Amino acid sequence: MIPNYTPTNFIRNIIEEDLKSNKNGGRVHTRFPPEPNGYLHIGHAKSICLNFGLAAEYGGLCNLRFDDTNPSKEDVEYVESIRADVRWLGFDWQDREYYASDYFDRLYEYAVQLIKADKAYVCDLSADEIREYRGTLTEPGKDSPYRTRSVEENLDLFERMKAGEFPDGARTLRAKIDMASPNLNMRDPVMYRILPASHHRTGDKWCIYPTYDFAHGQSDSIEGITHSICTLEFEDHRPLYDWFLDELNIFHPQQIEFARLNLTYTVLSKRRLLALVEEGHVGGWDDPRMPTLAGIRRRGYTPEAIRNFCERIGVAKRNSTVDIAMLEHCLREDLNKRAPRFMAVLRPLRVVIDNYPENRVEELEAVNNPEDPGMGTRKIPFSRVLYIDREDFREDPPKEFFRLAPGSEVRLRYAYIIKCADVVKDAKTGEVSEIRCTYDPDTRSGSAKSSRKVKATIHWVSAVHSIEAEVRPYDHLFLKPDPDDVEEGADWRSNLNPHSLETLKSCRLEPNLAGATPGMRCQFERLGYFCVDPDTSEGKLVFNRTVTLRDPWAKIEKGQKKG
RNA sequence: UGGGCGGUCGCCAAGCGGUAAGGCCCCGGACUUUGGAUCCGGUAUCGAAGGUUCGAAUCCUUCCCGCCCAGCCA
């Protein structure tokens, strides 16, 4: 159940009006059109949810179409990851998996059609010359000297471009529109370029490839897309797409632009994500710190949380940056209801209960998920020697610190109330190495006399029964909400968080976690949500921290430190 | 200085002439064997200035600010 947080958005309004006026015979057909030149990220998820979501909502269809018009940058590795990611998010394009390259023959025919109508011409200008002739934002461009070639000559040259008679970049096919247009996209844009590259689908069949601008609108048209939803930067291109569609006189989809997603504490551009991977700032596209769907998935995010997030952030035309806290909130909300709870100690501190019998072991009952009684209970062993988290003990407790400190009492979750009697320190380092406590036998959880209250409850694990694990408590990839907020001369890389990856090797988990397999998600009580990483192997458990729990104490302490 | 698009609470975002939804964050408080969860309560006059109107965030005018466009990338 996804609550309807945003009752509407401007795209839904448009579609509803179109439906009312029976614009496309009541049909709603969208598409998600990625270029297979990188991994999908959370920003793409917004587009995927929008396109597939709208189609589902209005009883329509959504295609998956790869915009593969530039073989020099594309690769099958990417098409496979994209397929997997869309599927993982929970969407199904059935048999409608298309490729712009499926339409290369048709696009070629369209180009010939425009040449015949004297609306396109073969231009011999070099890339540099084209730029010079284009003019500037404030000055009109100049006509190419090749603009007036005859239809016959254009037909012949275009044919020969296709036949591979000319070297890379020697000529282009251009639309004959208006070199003085205030919209630079209308200044005789390139439709075809010579690119002697082997294509991941069409192999060496072609040595000329259509530009995105010449392929996209027509691809939508061919597929009968009614609502062609894209991001803001293509607004200026719409007049061009309209021009092609009108000159070709083919089905005219309606393009609607929305603002792409930006998130605090991360970067979301393909260029930068590629740089993070290639420069080794992260372990790969699926590094759990990456905002890629592959990374987020490995981190432990659920598709439900992401879909819900995409619904809540809404869709509009205003450039905006969503607080990552919103994403984290959606995740916690989902996991709170579903994740089984366990106890885990990340930074172990030995605790000995002096008045607890040496060899005694009790099996204590614990609730698997207080939000869902149906998830049942489990047994946890309790004994004389335990581990608690170092965070939960302070020799010199600050104000408001309710946990363990010399002379103070806390409840051990599902067990007894204990009192700290003594602190043992390492002779050399002076570091606290062990805590000696006493327990109150009358306070066992669930027992009749257990109603005594203490300020805090902490988690623990029985030393001899616990199992070891490695835990990676990830933090944001960047130090600042806006990675571009840098000193003069520095770039976004200078804001990378050096502590985004931490590895804790000697964590202790309750024994019920033995045998956990990669992908398993759970909550470590009081700490956060975690999931088993694929790095896990026989005898070596590895957990990723997906997100922490909300932590008021951390805020209080931070406030105290500031003064 | 050309063209396109935007500017409603700290962050997202509804609203389309009838007197500012919701979510996140934040701050109180209740409850609590997770300082979790849950539950209550609190926080904007709509970029600015004029104008039209009984009435404007919504219409008009002018101005200010931000983003995008000069790839044979998408």
* pLDDT tens per residue across all 563 residues of chain A: 334 455 799 999 999 999 999 999 999 999 999 999 999 999 999 999 999 999 999 999 999 999 999 999 999 999 999 999 999 999 999 999 999 999 999 999 999 999 999 999 999 999 999 999 999 999 999 999 999 999 999 999 999 999 999 999 999 999 999 999 999 999 999 999 999 999 999 999 999 999 999 999 999 999 999 999 999 999 999 999 999 999 999 999 999 999 999 999 999 999 999 999 999 999 999 999 999 999 999 999 999 999 999 999 999 999 999 999 999 999 999 999 999 999 999 999 999 999 999 999 999 999 999 999 999 999 999 999 999 999 999 999 999 999 999 999 999 999 999 999 999 999 999 999 999 999 999 999 988 666 789 999 999 999 999 999 999 999 999 999 999 999 888 899 999 999 999 999 999 999 999 999 999 999 999 999 999 999 999 889 999 999 999 999 999 998 888 75
The token pair at A550 is 């909300």
Contact criterion met (CB below 8 Å) for A228 and A221: no
Q: Which of A211, A228, A262 is a domain's end point?
A: A262
Task: Say whether both A67 and A177 belong to one domain.
Answer: yes
CA of A458 to C1' of B58 (A): 54
| Minimum CA–C1' distance nucleotide for A214 | B74
Beta bridge partners of A532: A543
Task: Say whether both A227 and A371 belong to one domain.
Answer: no
Which one from A270, A338, A347, A379 is the annotated catalytic residue?
A270
Does A433 fall in a domain? yes
Contact criterion met (CB below 8 Å) for A189 and A128: no
The token pair at A448 is 């009749």
Residue nearest to nucleotide B74 (CA to C1'): A212
Does A357 fall in a domain? yes
The token pair at A267 is 């970067």
Question: What is the rounded CA–CA span in Å between residue A468 and residue A484?
Answer: 40
Residue nearest to nucleotide B33 (CA to C1'): A413
Does A83 fall in a domain? yes
Q: Which of A439, A465, A491 is a domain's end point?
A: A465
Contact criterion met (CB below 8 Å) for A538 and A504: no
Does A283 fall in a domain? no
The token pair at A218 is 């027509």
Contact criterion met (CB below 8 Å) for A435 and A404: yes
Task: Say whether both A88 and A230 belong to one domain.
Answer: yes
| Minimum CA–C1' distance nucleotide for A234 | B68
How many structural domains comprise chain A?
A: 2
CA of A319 to C1' of B63 (A): 22
CA distances from A48 to A87, A118, A314 (A): 10, 39, 13
ipTM greater than cut 0.95: yes
The closest alpha carbon to A244, from A212, A274, A278, A199, belongs to A212
CA atoms within 13 A on the CB side of A341: 25
List of long-range contacts for A10-14, beta carbons under 8 Å, 24+ apart: A10/A315, A10/A316, A10/A317, A11/A50, A11/A54, A11/A227, A11/A229, A11/A256, A11/A258, A11/A315, A12/A54, A12/A57, A14/A227, A14/A254, A14/A256
Residue A239, Ramachandran bin (φ over 0: left; ψ between -120 and 50: alpha; else beta):
alpha
Does A74 fall in a domain? yes
Instruction: For residue A270, indicate whether it is catalytic.
Output: yes
Instruction: For residue A558, indicate whether it is catalytic.
Output: no
Does A200 fall in a domain? yes
Can you give the pTM of this predicted structure? 0.96
Which one from A260, A350, A419, A436 is the annotated catalytic residue?
A260
The token pair at A301 is 């995010």
A163 DSSP 8-state letter: T
| Minimum CA–C1' distance nucleotide for A453 | B33
> Which positions of strand B lie within 7 Å of protein CB atoms?
1-8, 10-16, 21-27, 33-38, 66-74
| Distinct helix (H) and strand (E) counts, chain A | 13, 25
Task: Say whether both A241 and A375 belong to one domain.
Answer: no
Does A308 fall in a domain? no
Task: Say whether both A353 and A258 belong to one domain.
Answer: no
**Residue A349: domain span:** 344-465
Does A257 fall in a domain? yes
